[in-house]
Every structure is written in structure tokens, then in C-alpha cells.
């Protein structure tokens, strides 16, 4: 597959490594607004002088025939770049979040529908050993029917760049991972959300960077999500801490450890077992890329394509609307259902 890679610095460096490691990919152009980022990517990808570099995606699309775009620019540019690629006849993978507004996401969904080309959002948190194992445990009925979930995500992260400036940096740039994981782990669709967001006095972020929201899922289950990127200690890992409770027991996740509690009648914990994480067939972005290429080749839908991801990203923008208005907000509408 011939790939144009746009946004090759920052987190794009991870994609440079992932693309380099695939025997089925040939990177045919690099695009970035930063010349130093282009030079570093040329070096890291082992491309030397063989791969042309551009500072505009439009130019690259005109000059170089390709099958797909990999887009790892900041979210503000995803709509313009992914839609341009889809309309030029390419398939596309972009980093999460799909875009910075629901209107942009819907425009991307429309472009995928109208062109028939494949567009995947990289929700790599699904494809790491711990959450993969937890999702499988739930799917196999390990805790019965899910009734309530608690997720606590507390980190102190001194991001600069677009995150320091954006509205609701945590909900839009980070919580998309956790909201997508809620769907992946429970296998349920979101219904509604209510909540609140705030910014503690010491936060260096411009937008509210702490929030507490409650989702209702399609079986009536509630998910209580409490998160901050400007926490002052007691940090968790990037997955957050999870407590998933069902009719037969609970799955607990804390900093890499998974525990399965079997619970009998009247809340009696009968056993507690630590479960070894079982890795997926490929890790993180490697899984996303392999799934994308297989799907394009075989004409089927990849797991986190735009038609699936619109439901996760709708959770983000419904949460934003809920914390802005203080009202309970429906998550899915006719476009995202």
C-alpha cells in the first residue's frame, strides 16, 4: 500500500516507526509544515532522499499517486486533510480525536459515505494487553450483565501546544480514548450524559481540564467518569483506574493489574484472582494499521472506522454540551446511530 504521511513530528514519530516496520507499506511522501520535523522523519524512517517531502498536503496529493493517507497532525487539521484525501480517491487513517467539533466529524462521515473510501480513526488504547484482556473477560460473561462502571483518570501532564489552548483539552483530546474504551469493553451503546467541568486555580490549561460525567448506556448501566490532566498527585496510568461491576462480580483495573472478583448473593466476595494480561495479535497502532489494510484489501469494515467511531466521538461532544449547559444530553442522533 502506497502511503502519504502527514504530520510526521510529535506523535507522528510513532507512526513513522509503525509504517517503517510494516512490510506491506511503502511511504511515498512525507508532509509537515515544519522542515526540521520532515528532516527528522526522513532520517528515522530510513527514507533518505528517496521519499519526496512537502509542506502542503494538497501539493503531495497532486504530485504523488498513493492508496492511503496516514494523518497525525493536531485535531484542528484532521477534517481538511482527511476529506481532501478521501475526495482524491485515497483511503485514510487519522489519529484520534476524529476532529475538534461534531460538525467537522459529520463532514468527515459524509465524505466517507459519498466516496465509499475507508476512513479509520486510530483508537489504539483498545489494542493493548490490559484493556484487550478486560474486554474479552466481559465478552465471555466473566462478570455477567454489566450494571455499573467507575473510571478514575488522574494525571498531572504539563502539555503545551494545542492542548494548552483548546477548550476542554481533557474531554476532547484524552477522554475520547476512555469513551471509546467504554464502548469496546462493555459492548454497549451510549444513551445520555450529564456532568460538570472545571479548572483548578493552579491549572496551566486555558480550557477546563477536570471533569466528572455520568453516562447512561443502552442497558440502563451507568458509567461514572471522573478525570483530570491537572491532578496534584496519586496518578494512574493512561488507561485510568476501572471498576466494572456485573451480576456475577467485578473487574478491577489499577496501574497494570487486573483482578477478577466473583461475587455471590448479598454482595459476598467469594474469590479474587489476578488475571495475566493477554496481548492482542498486534499492539496499538500496529493493530490499527493491519486491520485497516486487511479491510481495504478484502472490502470489509475495519473495527474503528468512521461509522463506528462517530459513536465514541459523539460521547465527547455530548459530554462537552452537558458540562457547558448543565443539562442531560442525548449522545446519538440520526447521523451517529
Ligand X SMILES: NC(=O)c1ccc[n+]([C@@H]2O[C@H](COP(=O)([O-])OP(=O)(O)OC[C@H]3O[C@@H](n4cnc5c(N)ncnc54)[C@H](O)[C@@H]3O)[C@@H](O)[C@H]2O)c1
Number of residues that bind ligand X (CB under 6 A): 23
Q: Is residue 11 a contact point for ligand X (CB under 6 A)? A: yes
User: What is the nearest approach in angstroms of ligand X to the Cβ of residue 250?
Assistant: 27
Q: Is residue 7 a contact point for ligand X (CB under 6 A)? A: yes
What is the DSSP secondary-structure string of 173-197? IIHHHHHHHHHHHH---EEEEEEEE
| For ligand X, the closer CB: 123 or 194 | 123
Rounded to 10 degrees, what is the CA torsion of 64, 65, 70, 76? 60
Instruction: Tell me the residue nearest to ligand X as measured from the CB.
Output: 10
Task: Report the residue from 1, 3, 4, 6 that binds ligand X according to the rule CB under 6 A.
Answer: 6
The grid cell for 330 is: 442525548
Q: Segment contacting ligand X (CB under 6 A): 7-15, 113-121, 184-192, 329-337?
A: 7-15
Task: Report the residue from 161, 265, 299, 326 that binds ligand X according to the rule CB under 6 A.
Answer: 161
Q: Is residue 10 a contact point for ligand X (CB under 6 A)? A: yes
Distance CA 223, CA 72 (A): 30
User: What is the nearest approach in angstroms of ligand X to the Cβ of residue 298?
Assistant: 25
Helix axes 102-115, 306-325, angle to 10 degrees: 160
Q: Is residue 173 a contact point for ligand X (CB under 6 A)? A: yes
Residues 85-104 that bind ligand X (CB under 6 A): 95-96
Q: Is residue 304 a contact point for ligand X (CB under 6 A)? A: no
Residue 264 has a CB neighbour count (10 Å cut-off) of: 11
Q: Is residue 148 a contact point for ligand X (CB under 6 A)? A: no
ω into residue 97 within 30 of 0, thus cis?
yes
| For ligand X, the closer CB: 34 or 243 | 34
Task: Report the residue from 30, 37, 92, 322 that binds ligand X according to the rule CB under 6 A.
Answer: 37
Distance CA 87, CA 95 (A): 19
| For ligand X, the closer CB: 173 or 291 | 173
Helix axes 306-325, 175-186, angle to 10 degrees: 120
Distance CA 246, CA 145 (A): 5
Decide if 47 contacts 112 (C-beta within 8 A): no
Q: Residues 223-262 vs ligand X: string with x where CB under 6 A?
A: ----------------------------------------
Q: Find cell 511511504 and name the residue.
A: 27
Helix axes 175-186, 129-139, angle to 10 degrees: 30
Q: Segment contacting ligand X (CB under 6 A): 9-17, 21-29, 147-155, 187-195?
A: 9-17
Spatial CA neighbour of 184 closest among 299, 288, 59, 44: 288
Q: Is residue 33 a contact point for ligand X (CB under 6 A)? A: yes
Q: Is residue 120 a contact point for ligand X (CB under 6 A)? A: no
| For ligand X, the closer CB: 11 or 307 | 11
User: What is the nearest approach in angstroms of ligand X to the Cβ of residue 163?
Assistant: 7
The grid cell for 221 is: 448501566
Binding site for ligand X (CB under 6 A): 6-12, 31-34, 37, 72-75, 77, 95-96, 124, 161-162, 173
Amino acid at each position: 500500500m502506497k502511503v502519504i504521511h502527514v504530520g510526521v513530528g510529535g506523535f507522528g514519530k510513532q507512526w513513522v516507526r509503525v509504517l517503517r516496520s510494516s512490510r506491506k507499506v511503502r511511504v511515498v511522501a512525507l508532509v509537515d509544515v515544519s522542515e526540521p520535523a520532515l528532516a527528522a522523519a526522513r532520517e528515522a524512517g530510513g527514507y533518505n532522499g528517496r521519499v519526496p517531502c512537502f509542506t502542503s498536503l494538497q501539493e503531495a496529493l497532486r504530485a504523488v499517486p498513493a492508496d492511503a493517507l496516514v494523518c497525525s497532525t493536531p485535531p484542528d487539521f484532521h477534517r481538511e486533510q482527511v476529506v481532501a484525501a478521501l475526495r482524491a480517491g485515497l483511503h485514510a487513517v487519522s489519529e484520534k480525536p476524529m476532529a475538534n467539533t461534531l460538525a467537522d466529524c459529520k463532514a468527515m462521515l459524509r465524505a466517507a459515505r459519498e466516496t465509499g473510501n475507508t476512513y479509520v480513526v486510530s483508537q489504539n488504547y483498545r489494542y493493548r494487553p490490559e484493556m484487550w484482556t478486560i474486554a474479552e473477560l466481559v465478552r465471555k460473561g466473566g462478570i455477567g450483565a454489566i450494571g455499573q462502571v467507575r473510571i478514575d483518570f488522574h494525571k498531572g501532564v504539563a502539555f503545551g501546544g494545542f492542548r494548552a489552548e483548546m477548550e476542554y483539552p481533557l474531554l476532547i483530546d484524552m477522554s475520547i480514548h476512555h469513551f471509546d474504551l467504554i464502548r469496546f469493553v462493555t459492548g454497549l451503546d451510549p444513551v445520555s450524559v450529564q456532568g460538570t467541568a472545571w479548572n483548578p486555580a493552579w491549572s496551566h490549561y486555558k480550557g477546563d481540564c477536570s471533569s466528572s460525567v455520568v453516562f447512561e448506556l443502552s442497558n440502563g448501566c451507568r458509567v461514572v467518569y471522573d478525570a483530570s490532566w491537572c491532578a496534584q498527585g496519586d496518578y494512574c496510568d493512561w488507561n485510568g483506574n476501572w471498576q466494572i461491576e456485573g451480576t456475577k462480580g467485578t473487574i478491577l483495573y489499577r496501574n497494570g493489574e487486573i483482578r477478577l472478583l466473583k461475587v455471590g448473593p448479598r454482595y459476598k466476595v467469594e474469590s479474587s484472582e489476578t488475571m495475566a494480561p493477554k496481548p492482542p495479535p498486534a499492539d496499538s497502532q500496529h493493530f490499527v494499521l493491519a486491520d485497516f489494510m486487511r479491510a481495504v484489501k478484502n472490502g470489509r469494515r475495519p473495527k474503528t472506522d468512521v461509522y463506528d467511531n462517530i459513536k465514541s466521538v459523539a460521547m465527547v461532544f455530548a459530554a462537552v454540551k452537558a458540562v457547558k449547559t448543565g443539562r442531560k444530553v442525548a449522545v446519538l442522533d440520526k447521523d451517529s446511530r
